[in-house]
Amino acid sequence: MGVENSAVLAWVNKTAQLTKPERVVWLNGSEEEYRQLLAEAVKGGQLIPLNSERHPGCYLHRSHPNDVARTEQCTYVCTSGKEEAGPNNNWIAPDEAYSTLNKLFDGAMRGRAMYVVPFLMGPKGSAFSRVGIQLTDSVYVAINIKIMTRMGAVALEQLGNSADFVKCLHSLGTLDPQHRYICHFPQDQTVYSVNSGYGGNALLSKKCFALRIASWLGNREGWLAEHMFILGIEDPKGKVSYVAGALPSACGKTNLAMLQPPAKYKGYRVWCIGDDIAWLRIGADGRLYAINPEAGFFGVAPGTSMKTNPNMMRTIAKNTLFTNVAMAPDKTVWWEGLDLPASTDGFVDWQGKVWQPGNGQKAAHPNSRFTTPITQCPVYSPHWEDPQGVPISAILFGCRRSTLVPLVQESFSWQHGVYLGATLASETTAAATGATGVIRRDPMAMLPFCGYNMADYFNHWLKMGQRLTRPPKIFRVNWFRLDEQGKFVWPGFSENIRVLKWMIDRCQNQGDAVKTPVGYLPTVDALEGKELSLSEKEWKILLSVDRPGWVDAAQKQSEFFGKFGERLPPQLVDEQRALLERLNEKPVPARS
């Protein structure tokens, strides 16, 4: 490829001198090249071809057992001052980080190829879009980026002679978890990652660039980079309204983004624009517009089935990479949540070890994933390509909470909505290493992904609201309330359409609601809830306000807010105080 951009050439040459690869391979993104990469990965043992009839064009990858999820404890934001990174990030001074990393990268690619992977985040020619270039010695990573982004010549064309691209350097190194680093240098638009080959640690286009670096840029330039899906909901009259929503990792974004409404919701359709990341800007008309910077899904496999997410099952029917799922002897894949076949003889688990149901082991790793192109999704929205993005009517912040948080709350104002996002807490999942099921603060589902001090981030959200003349309404949801037996009370999945529809109704000044201290809550009728076989007790779990529980929760927020010191926007403390006042008032059920 005749690359002429001198900044790109200089960076590639300098890196090759440091990492000393056997060869440098420039990727142009063509289909032929993609086939070659797949063949190379099969030959090298990184990919196993799957059953060509049942899974055409599909492959299985097994990552190292110590490298199966994001490692937040090895992830750093290296701004010049620690305060800029904030209490929400691990921090190393840039000089020190570069010095450690340069030692680890010295000769790290010896005997391996270094792939030069240019990629474009966002539609071609869009003012939202940005270019990145990843240098990596992992063919698996290069193949993933081909699926996940607009990769190759298209990115270099958009870049032209400009030096404005994000430098993403990645090496598998020795996969030594003791020396694993994922370092971000927002002031240099640079990311270095070494000793991991997995997901968000290694596909640097995703969380590292499109969230950590992009959120930092967005704060400077007046836009937002968020851990959000984007969907369009079409009503029977054909009107499409757009919703963007953040939920923490493995809490339901992908499922919601391509939901298939139940038969009863005739005429309603959901269109998918993105499932994980949104870049949002204010349009000339004062509305908020969103694009999905990505071109593929890196989704959670366990739990995905024809019952829960038929659109994803159809999406992954071909041309898909599976990572850390189980395999049957006929080279078909399996994971928890799919029906168990009559015979499981010869099944191997995600590590390739013999597996039998009931042997006490998971067949697929709980954070096993698939990588698949968005254009294969049966309900993918053609507006995914719109350079100006889609106008957002509603924003949703969601959490996984077995107690306290109701099914859905509508905020009273933008500021109250920002407070609902900022005080989000959720039970941890297998998407990151560490204990699961532990409640932690995860503001806007961005705790692991915000590339700067979250106090400044909250302030940025508040300022965005002031600039929006037609701001979206902000909601909070929780699909995960448990009953006394530990079962999910809300049926979730396709039935979540009821909540989405109510949200859109509310944006159009319709839909019944009850004013409560924590926001507007829907009535059972507004959710057409009589159709669901839920008892009165179950509705109470979903739609009531546990006043003492909320007083306790609101008081505990002081500790969290305290971490940000003087930098915390006072509006959030005002909202906390207002909530406590509302909770102490006598309950008056009122219709809005």
Dmax over CA atoms of the chain, in Å, equals 73
Q: How far apart are CA 495 and CA 499, in angstroms?
A: 8
Q: Residue 464 binds which entry of ligand GTP, ligand SPV, Mn ion, none, with Cβ cut-offs from 5 to 8 Å by kind?
A: none
Q: How far apart are CA 146 and CA 356, in angstroms?
A: 35
Q: Which CB atom, from 67 or from 276, has the smaller least distance to Mn ion?
A: 276
Helix (H) or strand (E) holding 578: helix 570-584
Q: How far apart are CA 156 and CA 78, in angstroms?
A: 27
Q: Which residues bind Mn ion (CB under 5 A)?
A: 249, 276
Q: Is residue 431 part of the contact set for ligand GTP (CB under 6 A)? A: yes
Q: Is residue 299 part of the contact set for ligand GTP (CB under 6 A)? A: yes
Q: Which of 55, 207, 281, 481 binds ligand SPV (CB under 6 A)?
A: 207
Q: Which CB atom, from 113 or from 247, has the smaller least distance to ligand GTP?
A: 247
Spatial contact of 480 and 401, defined as CB atoms under 8 Å apart: yes
Residue 478: which of 424, 553, 549 has the closest Cα? 424
Closest distance of CB 414 from ligand SPV, Å:
26
Q: Which of 55, 167, 184, 206 binds ligand SPV (CB under 6 A)?
A: 206
- Show Cβ contacts of residue 508 under 8 Å, excluding neighbours closer than 6 positions: none
Closest distance of CB 325 from ligand GTP, Å:
13
Strands (E), 496-577: 513-516, 519-522
Per CB under 6 A, contacts with ligand GTP among 232-251 are: 247, 249-251
- Show Cβ contacts of residue 547 under 8 Å, excluding neighbours closer than 6 positions: 517, 583, 587
Spatial contact of 166 and 85, defined as CB atoms under 8 Å apart: no
Active-site choice (58, 78, 251, 399) = 251
Taking the CA atoms of 269, 272, 276 and 281 in sequence, report the sign of the dihedral they define: negative
Question: What's the Cα-to-Cα distance from 262 to each of 64, 231, 245, 526, 527, rounded to whole Å?
Answer: 40, 17, 21, 17, 13
- Helix, strand, or coil here: 140? helix
The region that residue 318 occupies, defined by phi over 0 for left and psi between -120 and 50 for alpha, beta otherwise, is beta
The pattern of x and - marking residues 263 through 282 that bind ligand GTP according to CB under 6 A reads ------------xx------
* DSSP annotation of 24: E
Q: Which CB atom, from 113 or from 425, has the smaller least distance to ligand SPV?
A: 425
251 catalytically annotated:
yes
Per CB under 6 A, contacts with ligand GTP among 442-481 are: 479
Q: Is residue 249 part of the contact set for ligand SPV (CB under 6 A)? A: yes
Closest distance of CB 74 from Mn ion, Å:
18
Closest distance of CB 471 from ligand SPV, Å:
26
Q: How many residues bind ligand SPV (CB under 6 A)?
A: 9
Q: Which of 244, 328, 431, 513 binds ligand SPV (CB under 6 A)?
A: 431
Question: What's the Cα-to-Cα distance from 378 to each of 27, 264, 271, rounded to whole Å?
Answer: 29, 20, 9
User: Residues 363-400, buried b or exposed e (16+ Cβ, 10 A)?
Assistant: bbbbbbbbbbbbebbebbbebbeeeebbbbbbbbbbbb
Q: Which of 122, 197, 302, 451 binds ligand GTP (CB under 6 A)?
A: 302
Per CB under 6 A, contacts with ligand GTP among 169-198 are: none
Closest distance of CB 256 from ligand GTP, Å:
7
Q: How many residues bind ligand GTP (CB under 6 A)?
A: 21
Q: Residue 252 binds which entry of ligand GTP, Mn ion, ligand SPV, none, with Cβ cut-offs from 5 to 8 Å by kind?
A: ligand GTP
* Closest-approach residue to Mn ion (CB): 276
- Show Cβ contacts of residue 181 under 8 Å, excluding neighbours closer than 6 positions: 74, 76, 97, 100, 101, 104, 192, 193, 194, 195
Closest distance of CB 276 from ligand GTP, Å:
5
Q: Residue 303 binds which entry of ligand SPV, Mn ion, ligand GTP, none, with Cβ cut-offs from 5 to 8 Å by kind?
A: ligand GTP
- Residues found near ligand SPV in the complex (CB under 6 A): 70, 199-200, 206-207, 249, 276, 298, 431
Q: Name the residues that contact ligand GTP, by CB under 6 A.
A: 247, 249-255, 275-276, 299-300, 302-303, 308, 431, 479, 488, 492-493, 496
Residues designated as active site? 251
